[in-house]
Amino acid sequence: MHTTLRRLLRPALLAAALGITLPATAADVAGVRFDDKASLAGSELVLNGASLRTRFMLKIYAIGLYLPRSGNSAEAVMASSGPKRIQITTLRELGASEFADALVDGLKRNHSDAELAKLQPRIDDFRNAIIALKSTPAGSQIRLEWLPGSGTRLSVGNEARGKDIPGEDFYRALLRIWIGEKPVDQDLKNALLGKA
- What domains are there in the chain, each with its CATH number? 23-192 (3.50.70.10)
Percentage of residues of the chain with pLDDT beyond 70? 87
Task: Give me the amino acid identity at 29.
Answer: V
Q: Mean pLDDT over all residues of the chain? A: 88
Report the C-alpha dihedral over residues 101, 106, 111, 113, rounded to 10 degrees.
30
Task: Write down the pTM of the prediction.
Answer: 0.85
Q: How many angstroms separate the CA atoms of 77 and 69, rounded? A: 9
Task: Give me the amino acid identity at 124.
Answer: D
Q: How many angstroms separate the CA atoms of 70 and 16, rounded? A: 14
The tens digit of pLDDT for each residue in 4-30 reads 334 444 444 444 444 444 445 678 999
